[in-house]
Structure 1
Amino acid sequence: MKKTRKPGGGRKKLKPEYDAGKNLKEQMDAAATLYGEDCSLQSIGDALNLNPIKVRKLLITAGVYESEVAEKVKKTFEEYREIQDYKTSILSTANTLQLSKASVTSYLPYKKGVYFPSTAEKEKISVGAERQRRYRVMKRWKADPTEENLWGVVVAYAGVKFKTYSGLPFSYEIKKGRNGEYTKELWIDRREKSKSLAWSSIVLALGNIKDEVVERPKALGDIRGVAYIYGMFYRFGLIDVPDEVKEKMGHPKDRKK
């Protein structure tokens, strides 16, 4: 007589302590941290004992790797994925971009584990990936100081600790509207009550930067919330402050994270 399998029965794991998802996340976090230090794919691979292609795939899964090819593969694959299954979408992408199937796969995030796109909430990504995200948007802003790129910096630094001119700590959050897009308003959270800070105020203060060393917040203009903008600009490296103020706000060497 055939025995009935008990609920929950089946083949036991050879390594019950092995967690593929956890291991993937740990590798992803380590790779993102090293990538944030401007390490090459090869040097990261040497440090983690991985080949550079796997390193790139980890960074893509973490949502921190950027390249023209990676963007084309991602966009093309996602378009085919809306009407085709996974394997067929890979083949279609390969044919469209004149790449091998292996190349296309190498530019896609890991299916196992969680994919963290560049727009993922910071709570869902690793510390290393979050630090790397801030580094990349700041690098983009310095290379092309547009309002759009500065907004990217502001979004990436949500939740990070800042200090005002007098040394009071604060942070801010940015909420999303019904369309899923971030609203152009920052909510300052310091002690009991939250205050709002408009993006237009930040842009106005940016245009008022006249000197590298800004003596005090009011030098950026008579703007609502300028005390917070002053702290943000200092942390972003957009302005410098007097030496005596650095004692309260923190020296540049303390602003790496």
Structure 2
Amino acid sequence: MEKEERTAEAAGYEGEITAENLWTVIVSLQGKVFYTSKKLPFTYTVRGGELFTDRRDRSVTRSTFERALEKIRSDPAIKGPKKLNVYGAPYVWAILKTVGAVPSEKEEPKGQG
């Protein structure tokens, strides 16, 4: 499977991902294909402060992404979506990882997510 580079830089943003600029980056990447830790492809659309994936009927809110980002930055034990303990964790993790908000040392070994 060919993996395209999808980072904050690819979305036209240069610099560190923060709670303030995270949603702007997420909005700019809607419609692109992302992959969960289990390699399931998904796309999403954003309506207001909610993100809707093509794999779920319920939305993931902007505040959920902000909480997940804070958890990732404050807890070194979080190395995959299960530890995030937020709704839509596989999608939240995949998006945060893709935009560069998850440090590479936080990535789980294959088969653990």
2:11–2:28 contact (8 Å) kept in structure 1: no
* C-alpha displacement of 1:163: 1.1
Determine the structure 2 residue equivalent to 1:215.
79
Percent identical pairs in the alignment equals 29
Instruction: Determine the C-alpha separation between the residues in 2 that align with 1:136 and 1:188.
Output: 22
2:60–2:88 contact (8 Å) kept in structure 1: yes
Instruction: Determine the C-alpha separation between the residues in 1 that align with 2:10 and 2:49.
Output: 19
Partner of residue 203 from structure 1, selected from 30, 48, 66:
66
> Which 5+ residue runs of structure 2 have no aligned equivalent?
1-6
2:19–2:69 contact (8 Å) kept in structure 1: no
Determine the structure 1 residue equivalent to 2:12.
136
Aligned residue pairs, count? 101
* C-alpha displacement of 1:146: 3.3
Determine the structure 2 residue equivalent to 1:17.
none
Determine the structure 1 residue equivalent to 2:4.
none
Instruction: Tell whether 2:52 aligns with 1:187.
Output: yes
Secondary structure of residue in 2 paired with 1:244: coil
Partner of residue 21 from structure 2, selected from 129, 144, 149:
149
- TM (normalized to structure 1)? 0.35
1:134–1:156 contact (8 Å) kept in structure 2: no
2:50–2:60 contact (8 Å) kept in structure 1: yes
* C-alpha displacement of 1:237: 1.6
Determine the structure 1 residue equivalent to 2:3.
none
Instruction: Determine the C-alpha separation between the residues in 2 that align with 1:230 and 1:134.
Output: 18
1:134–1:153 contact (8 Å) kept in structure 2: no
Q: 1:62-114, CA deviations, whole angstroms, 9 ceiling, x for partnerless residues?
A: xxxxxxxxxxxxxxxxxxxxxxxxxxxxxxxxxxxxxxxxxxxxxxxxxxxxx
- TM (normalized to structure 2)? 0.74
* C-alpha displacement of 1:216: 2.2
2:45–2:53 contact (8 Å) kept in structure 1: yes
Q: Which amino acid aligns with 1:219?
A: K
> Which 5+ residue runs of structure 1 have no aligned equivalent?
1-130, 176-182, 249-257
Instruction: Determine the C-alpha separation between the residues in 1 that align with 2:99 and 2:31.
Output: 14
Instruction: Determine the C-alpha separation between the residues in 1 that align with 2:109 and 2:49.
Output: 32
* C-alpha displacement of 1:242: 2.4
1:155–1:174 contact (8 Å) kept in structure 2: yes
The alignment's C-alpha RMSD in Å is 2.6
* C-alpha displacement of 1:214: 4.2
Secondary structure of residue in 1 paired with 2:101: coil
Greater relative contact order structure (CA < 8 Å, 6+ sep): 2
Q: Which amino acid aligns with 1:167?
A: K
Partner of residue 162 from structure 1, selected from 20, 23, 34:
34
Q: Which amino acid aligns with 1:150?
A: L
* C-alpha displacement of 1:195: 2.8
In structure 2, the CA distance between the partners of 1:231 and 1:146, relative to structure 1 (3 Å rule), is closer
Instruction: Determine the C-alpha separation between the residues in 1 that align with 2:108 and 2:90.
Output: 15
1:217–1:226 contact (8 Å) kept in structure 2: yes
1:173–1:186 contact (8 Å) kept in structure 2: yes
* C-alpha displacement of 1:233: 1.2
